[in-house]
Amino acid sequence: MSAKNFILFGMFCLGLVVTGCATKVERVGVEEKIDISGTWNDYDAMLVSKEMIDSCLKAPWLTRFETKNNRDPVIIVGHVANRSHEHINAQVFVKYLERELLNSGKVVFVASSQEREDIRAEREDQQKGYTDPETMKKMGEEYGADYILIGSVNSIKDEEKRKSVVFYQVNMELVDLETNTKVWMGQKELKKLIKKPRLSL
C-alpha cells in the first residue's frame, strides 16, 4: 500500500471512529415508557400521579362533601417527602398531581404556599395606586382549602453483583384542614429488576 493510500485509509478509519462516537439524539413521545438506569423517572411520576388521583376522586369522601356542602371541595397539594435512596425531584411529581387534580374538573384547586407568596405580593402592589381601580384585585378574597394532599416516596434496594431489585412505595393522604382527619389514603407500589452488563464503560 502506497503512503498516499495508507493516509487515505487512516483518515477513513478515523472518520468511522468519530462518527461512531458522535452523540445521537432522537425525539420520542413524552408519555413513552423509557427506562435507562432503572431509577425513578418521569414515567413513574406520571403513572403514579394518574392512578393516585383517580383513586382519590373515586373515594366516598368526595360524594359526602358535595352532598353536605353543595359545592366542589377546595384542595391544595402540600409536601411530598422523598424518603427513597435516590435523588428525586419531588416537584415534578407534585406538578403531575396538580395537573391531574385540576383537569379532573371535580375539585377547586388552589395555589401552593410558595405560589401564594408571589400572588400576594402582586396583589399588594396593585393597592399602591398605580392600578386601575376597576381591574384592581381585592385583598382577603382568597379561597381557603378544605383539604391538603400530602405524601412520600419510599424505596428499598436489594443488590448483588450485577443484579438489583428496587422497590418503590408511594403513599398519599388527603387530610381535612379543619379537623386534621384523614379522609383518603392511597398507596402505589413499583418494582424494577435491573441487570447490568458484564462489561461497562
Predicted structure pTM score:
0.78
117-169: per-residue pLDDT in tens?
898 899 999 988 889 888 898 888 889 999 999 999 999 999 888 889 999 99
In whole angstroms, what is the distance from residue 144 CA to residue 75 CA? 9
Q: What are phi and psi of 172, to 5 degrees?
A: -130, 145
Strand partners, 163: 160, 195
**Sheet of strand 108-109: strand arrangement:** 108-109, 74-83, 147-160, 163-176, 182-195
16-66: per-residue pLDDT in tens?
555 555 677 676 676 666 777 778 888 999 999 999 999 999 999 999 999
Residue 23 counted as domain residue: no
Residue 201 counted as domain residue: no
Which band of pLDDT confidence, cut at 50, 70 and 90, is reported for residue 6?
A: low
Question: Mean of the pLDDT values across residues 60-74?
Answer: 96
Residue 19 counted as domain residue: no
80-92: per-residue pLDDT in tens?
999 999 898 888 9
Task: Identify the CATH number of the domain in which residue 75 sits.
Answer: 3.40.50.10610
What's the confidence (pLDDT) of residue 77?
94
| Spacing of C-alpha 168 from chain mean position | 15
What's the confidence (pLDDT) of residue 112?
84
Residue 135 counted as domain residue: no
Say how many domains are in the chain: 1
Residue 30 counted as domain residue: no
Residue 85 counted as domain residue: yes
